[in-house]
Amino acid sequence: MVEWVDGFFKPLAEYAWLMMVLLGIIWLIYAAYEANRRETWRKLTKIDDWEFNITPFLKLLTYVGFILGILTIFSGVTGLILNIAPSTKYATETANSVNYFTSIFLIIFGLLTFFKPLNDLPISSIIGLAAASLVTAIIIWVIMALGVSISTTIAVALIVIFLIIFAITAITVKFYTALFMSISKIISWPPFAFIAAVFCVIQGLLLVLLGISIV
């Protein structure tokens, strides 16, 4: 566990400034993507057709958003818990103390970045299907390990269990992710996304170059 903290989590916290810059870049991409797919924004900017394929681009955003969201959350949480400065320059200027604003911002925007691509995917159904399949598979394995043959009655019972777990998991996931998805939809409106992106980049550069924070 100590090796994981020293080799993975601490570097994430120490490079919180870089996570801020990466957040800025991904939200700039989000702004461009949203501007392209929203008809009202296309009319406003008088751009009718941008030349890139939305489907591969959306898939790329999904993977990048997942990974970057998780890493930024880890960065913010680790910085808070271990009192780690977000950059070497900031550590020099502040006697190696954590910047609470940066850490909290990373956690919040990490969550929004993680959930943003989920607006375009049936994530609740995907997680529900995965959970139901896993539980059903475990039950089948246990039954076979006990040497019990799977009769028609057991098969029907397994189907019922699968459907129940799928429904409960999907509804639960949809309920708990709805708030963050709604917020991320609002923030991903092109002007907001652009402002958030610029803010992230400026904050990251201030941390690494000058050792100061906007807040």
> For residue 52, what pLDDT is reported?
45
Residue 159 identity (one-letter amino acid): I
Question: For the chain, what is the mean pLDDT?
Answer: 78
Q: Whole-model pTM? A: 0.68
Q: Rounded mean pLDDT of 125-139?
A: 76
Residue 46 has pLDDT above 60, yes or no: no
Q: What is the mean pLDDT of residues 18-47?
A: 73
Q: Which of 162, 24, 5 is nearest to 32 (CA)?
A: 24
pLDDT score of 51 more than 50:
no
pLDDT tens column, 135-173 = 877 887 777 777 777 677 777 787 888 888 878 887 777
Phi, psi of 107 (to 5 degrees): -65, -50
Report which residue type is found at 187: I
> How many other β-carbons are positioned within 10 Å of the β-carbon of residue 47?
11
Which whole number is the average pLDDT over 205-215? 90
Question: pLDDT exceeding 90 applies to what percent of the chain?
Answer: 17
Of the candidates 215, 184, 210, 203, the one whose C-alpha atom is nearest the C-alpha of residue 16 is: 203
Asked whether residue 56 carries a pLDDT value surpassing 80, the answer given is no
- pLDDT at residue number 202: 94
- Better-scored residue on pLDDT, 193 or 188: 193
Measured CA to CA, the distance from residue 109 to residue 88 in angstroms comes to 22
pLDDT digit string, tens, across residues 77-121: 888 888 889 999 999 888 778 899 999 999 988 888 877 766 656
Of residues 50 and 29, more confidence is placed in: 29
Q: Are 69 and 111 in contact (CB under 8 A)?
A: yes
Q: What percent of the chain has pLDDT over 70?
A: 74
**At 208, is the pLDDT very low, low, confident or very high (cuts 50, 70, 90)?**
very high
